[in-house]
C-alpha cells in the first residue's frame, strides 16, 4: 500500500520513496510535488490516506482493505479532534479526501489543549528557519517562555486551573506576535516563539512586550478566582550567514531562560549579538581638540610635498 500525505498546498509530506509506488502508478517523483498531486494519487489508489506517522507503517499489498481501515482510523481521529468535513463535499470524492488529508495534517501539527503549533511542527519550523537564516542572512529570534511557579498553580488550584492558565498564556502569546511568527507549545508549561526577520535592535522590545502582556492578563479559573500569571523568557538570535543547528539555537535560548529564572523570574534575558552604536560621548571625544584639523585652509592651493613626513 503506497502511502502519501499531502497538505492543502499540494505538498506531499512523509512518503516512502522505497515503496516503488511511483512506477506502479506511472507517477514520478516530480509529480508528487506538482499541484494537486494528492488527487493524482487518489485517482490511482482508492485509499491513499496514511496515518499520521506514515514512515513507520508497514507497506501492505492488500491495499484496499488496509487502506479502508486506515481511512476509518483517520476519520475517528479527526472526529475526536472535533473535525467536521466541509459541507457540500461528497464523501469519497477527491475533494473530500483532500479535506480529510488537510484535517489530518492540521491535527498532527497542533497542540490539543492550546491549538498552538505542537512540538512536531516547531521542530520542522525551526529547522527551516535555520536554513533560511544561513541562506539569506536575515536575523531571526527564538524565544522560549516558561510559566513561573506553574507547579504551585497545579498543586494549589488543581490541574483544571493549570490547563486554564496554559490556555490563557498561549492565547496571550499568540496575540503578541506577527502572523508570520510561530508560537508553539513545546512542553508542559513551556512555549517557544520563532520570529523570522527580527533585527537584534528590536529583540528586547518584543520579548518585553510579550512578558508584560502576560503579566497584565490575570487568568479566571473556576470559582471566580483570578490568578496572576507571569512568564520568564529567554531568547537567542540565529547567527546570521552561518548554518547553525536547531539544537544549538534552542540551547542558547534555554540558557537565557535559566538566567531569567535565576534572576528572579518574570523577566526576559536575551543572548544579544554584538551591537555597534557610536555614542555621543564617543563623538565628543573624537572631536576634542578638533581645531587642529583644518580641512579647508589650503583648499585650492597647490600643495608642496612635505619633505620630512616620516
Partner 1 sequence: MMASMTAPETSTPATTVRLARTVAITSGKGGVGKTFFSANLAAALARQGLKVLVLDADLGLANLDVVLNLYPKITLHDVFTGKAQLEEAILPAPGGFSVLLAGSGLVEYSRLTPEIRDQLVTIFEAVKPRFDVILIDTGAGISDVVLYAVSMAHEVIVVATPEPTSMTDAYATIKVLSTQQSRENLHLVVNQVGRAGDGRSICNQLQQVVERFVQGPNGVAPKLSYLGDIPLDTSVREAVQKRQLVLELHPGCAASQGVVQVATRLLARS
Residues in the site for partner 1, rule: CB under 8 A? Answer: 135-137, 241, 274, 276, 278-279, 281-283, 285-287, 289-290, 292-306, 309-310
- How many angstroms separate the CA atoms of 186 and 167, rounded? 13
Residue 87 or 296: the one with the smaller Cβ distance to partner 1 is: 296
Could you tell me whether strands 231-237 and 268-271 are parallel, antiparallel, or unpaired per DSSP bridges?
Answer: parallel
Residue 61 or 281: the one with the smaller Cβ distance to partner 1 is: 281
Annotated catalytic residue within 138, 189, 281, 310: 189
Shortest distance, CB of residue 297 to partner 1, whole angstroms?
5
What percentage of the chain's residues is helix, strand, coil (to nearest 5)? 45, 15, 40
Residue 179 or 289: the one with the smaller Cβ distance to partner 1 is: 289
Shortest distance, CB of residue 131 to partner 1, whole angstroms?
11
Residue 55 or 278: the one with the smaller Cβ distance to partner 1 is: 278
Shortest distance, CB of residue 208 to partner 1, whole angstroms?
24
- How many angstroms separate the CA atoms of 187 and 116, rounded? 12
Residue-by-residue DSSP string for 68-131: HHHHHHHHHHHHHTT--PPTTPPTTSHHHHHHHHHHHHHHHHB-TTT-SB-HHHHHHHHHHHHH
Residue 58 or 284: the one with the smaller Cβ distance to partner 1 is: 284
Shortest distance, CB of residue 295 to partner 1, whole angstroms?
4
Shortest distance, CB of residue 289 to partner 1, whole angstroms?
7
- How many angstroms separate the CA atoms of 59 and 24, rounded? 14
- Please answer whether residues 84 and 70 qualify as being in contact, where contact means their C-beta atoms are separated by less than 8 angstroms: no
- How many angstroms separate the CA atoms of 11 and 148, rounded? 39
- How many angstroms separate the CA atoms of 16 and 2, rounded? 7
- The question of whether 189 is a catalytic residue gets the answer yes
- How many angstroms separate the CA atoms of 214 and 208, rounded? 10
Active site residues: 189
Amino acid at each position: 500500500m503506497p502511502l502519501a500525505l499531502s497538505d492543502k498546498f499540494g505538498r506531499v509530506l512523509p512518503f516512502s520513496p522505497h515503496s516503488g509506488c511511483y512506477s506502479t502508478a506511472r507517477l514520478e517523483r516530480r509529480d508528487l510535488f506538482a499541484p494537486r498531486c494528492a488527487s493524482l494519487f487518489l485517482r490511482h489508489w482508492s485509499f491513499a490516506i496514511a496515518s499520521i506517522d506514515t514512515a513507520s507503517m508497514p507497506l501492505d499489498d492488500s491495499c484496499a482493505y488496509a487502506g479502508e481501515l486506515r481511512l476509518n482510523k483517520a476519520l475517528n481521529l479527526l472526529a475526536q479532534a472535533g473535525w467536521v468535513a466541509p459541507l457540500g463535499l461528497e464523501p469519497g470524492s477527491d475533494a473530500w479526501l483532500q479535506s480529510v488529508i488537510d484535517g489530518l495534517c492540521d491535527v498532527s501539527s497542533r497542540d490539543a489543549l492550546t491549538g498552538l503549533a505542537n512540538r512536531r511542527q516547531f521542530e520542522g519550523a525551526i529547522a527551516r528557519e535555520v536554513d533560511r537564516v544561513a541562506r539569506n542572512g536575515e536575523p531571526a529570534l527564538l524565544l522560549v517562555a516558561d510559566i513561573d511557579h506553574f507547579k504551585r498553580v497545579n498543586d494549589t488550584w488543581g490541574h483544571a486551573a493549570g490547563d486554564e492558565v496554559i490556555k490563557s498564556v498561549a492565547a496571550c502569546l499568540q496575540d503578541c506576535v506577527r502572523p508570520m511568527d510561530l508560537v508553539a507549545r513545546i512542553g508542559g508549561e513551556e512555549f517557544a516563539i520563532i520570529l523570522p526577520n527580527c533585527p537584534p535592535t528590536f529583540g528586547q522590545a518584543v520579548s518585553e512586550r510579550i512578558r508584560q502582556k502576560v503579566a497584565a492578563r490575570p487568568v479566571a479559573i473556576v470559582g471566580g478566582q483570578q490568578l496572576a500569571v507571569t512568564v520568564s523568557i529567554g531568547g537567542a538570535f540565529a547567527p546570521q550567514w552561518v548554518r547553525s543547528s536547531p539544537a544549538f539555537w534552542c540551547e542558547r535560548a534555554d540558557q537565557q531562560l535559566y538566567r531569567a529564572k535565576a534572576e528572579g523570574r518574570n523577566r526576559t534575558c536575551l543572548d544579544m549579538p554584538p551591537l555597534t552604536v557610536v555614542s555621543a560621548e564617543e563623538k565628543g571625544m573624537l572631536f576634542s581638540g578638533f581645531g587642529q584639523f583644518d580641512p579647508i585652509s589650503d583648499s585650492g592651493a597647490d600643495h608642496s610635498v612635505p619633505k620630512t613626513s616620516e
